[in-house]
């Protein structure tokens, strides 16, 4: 995963992400009060964050040239194993919380038989089972398969399946158009956020930033376009009136997420016009590039936590 400096960077990034996620979930709970579920939102946010980072880590080697790709893949392996393992565990906990909500009991009182019935007989339960299987598959591939482009494609495919399975059974499960829109929205967000997080965890000198940042910038443009399009379509499907954006807890959380997405898009465009040319010209040090990435990632982590809170808010 790199030398001592990279290990310190990774620990700081993980700690910062957890703090931002917790703070964002708490803020979303306050906005949605009294209908929000803070514990469920925290579990979902951790699961979604682990999924996003996993996807980014299995894709990030493709952003570097073929000559250097093996090194980037080697650096990404240990974080990818850790992220996918966290994804598996948090999704299992998420299934228990989902079972408890469906059964109307506390999470600590859920029986194994009840969990089994939930994952077999309900759409959210089956989606959770698919996600657990996909996350476990990614963990197996990155842990056991030879490090190659084909293994990376397989891991990315499994991660993508795991990421879109839950959105298709959420608020928009009754609408084909809405379900597809929210799946596109979530997958685009995961690519954008996950690959940037992976860059922070794997890239450690200005030469690498100069090579990979232009490709990330091109990818992020497509992701932002798909994210906005999917979000707009999903919003139009699910909302009956603009007044819902402030009249209830769910709408207030959605309004905060929309505002944050706008701010994030503006920041990303600013980084594209200032950071990208500096990195390409080797004028930005690795520390400067990492600092700019941290700022963008903090907003991304907040947006993901709000999205997780939105999903568990009535």
Cα-flanking dihedrals φ and ψ of residue 173, to 5°? Answer: -65, -20
Range of lowest pLDDT (10-19, 39-48, 109-118, 171-180) = 171-180
CA separation for the pair 95, 228 (Å, rounded): 29
CA separation for the pair 156, 117 (Å, rounded): 30
CA separation for the pair 71, 52 (Å, rounded): 22
- pLDDT, residue 73, reads 92
CATH classification for the domain delimited by 4-311, as one of 1.20.1630, 1.10.472, 1.10.3470, 1.10.8: 1.20.1630
- How confident is the model over 176-194, as a mean pLDDT? 88
- pLDDT tens, 252-291? 888 999 999 999 999 999 998 999 999 988 898 888 998 8
CA separation for the pair 296, 185 (Å, rounded): 18
- How confident is the model over 297-313, as a mean pLDDT? 88
Q: What is the DSSP letter of 110?
A: -
Closest CA to 131 of 102, 167, 105, 99: 167
Tokens of 147: 């490090």
What's CA 103's distance to the chain center, in Å?
Answer: 28
Tokens of 65: 């040239």
Relative orientation angle of helices 149-165 and 123-144, to the nearest 10 degrees: 160
Tokens 């579920």 sit on residue: 37
pTM for the whole structure: 0.91
* Residue 72 confidence (pLDDT) above 80: yes
Tokens 């565990």 sit on residue: 89
* Residue 51 confidence (pLDDT) above 90: yes
Given pLDDT bands bounded at 50, 70 and 90, which one contains residue 3? Answer: low
Given pLDDT bands bounded at 50, 70 and 90, which one contains residue 220? Answer: very high
* Rounded (10°) CA dihedral 83, 255, 175, 223: -50
Closest CA to 58 of 205, 159, 144: 159
Closest CA to 88 of 59, 47, 42: 47
């Amino acid at each position: 995963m790199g030398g001592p400096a990279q290990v310190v960077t990774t620990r700081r990034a993980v700690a910062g992400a957890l703090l931002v996620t917790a703070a964002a979930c708490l803020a979303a709970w306050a906005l949605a009060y009294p209908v929000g579920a803070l514990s469920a939102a925290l579990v979902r946010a951790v699961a979604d964050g682990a999924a996003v980072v996993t996807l980014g880590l299995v894709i990030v080697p493709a952003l570097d040239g073929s000559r250097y790709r093996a090194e980037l893949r080697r650096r990404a392996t240990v974080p990818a194993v850790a992220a996918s393992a966290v994804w598996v565990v948090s999704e299992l906990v998420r299934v228990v919380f989902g079972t408890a909500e469906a059964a109307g009991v506390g999470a600590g009182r859920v029986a194994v038989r009840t969990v089994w019935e939930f994952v077999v007989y309900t759409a959210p339960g089956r989606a959770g089972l698919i996600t657990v299987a996909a996350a476990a598959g990614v963990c197996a591939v990155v842990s056991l398969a030879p490090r190659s482009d084909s293994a990376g494609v397989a891991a990315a495919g499994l991660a993508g399946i795991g990421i879109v399975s839950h959105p298709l059974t959420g608020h928009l499960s009754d609408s084909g158009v809405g379900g597809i829109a929210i799946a596109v929205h979530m997958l685009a967000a995961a690519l954008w956020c996950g690959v940037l997080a992976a860059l922070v965890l794997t890239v450690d000198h200005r030469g690498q930033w100069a090579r990979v940042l232009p490709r990330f910038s091109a990818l992020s443009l497509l992701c932002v376009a798909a994210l906005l399009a999917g979000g707009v379509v999903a919003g139009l499907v699910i909302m009956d009136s603009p007044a819902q954006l402030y009249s209830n807890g769910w709408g207030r959380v959605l309004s905060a997420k929309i505002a944050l997405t706008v701010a994030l898009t503006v920041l990303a465009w600013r980084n594209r016009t200032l950071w990208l040319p500096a990195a390409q010209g080797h004028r930005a040090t690795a520390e400067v590039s990492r600092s700019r990435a941290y700022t963008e990632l903090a907003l991304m982590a907040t947006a993901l936590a709000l999205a997780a809170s939105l999903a568990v808010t009535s």
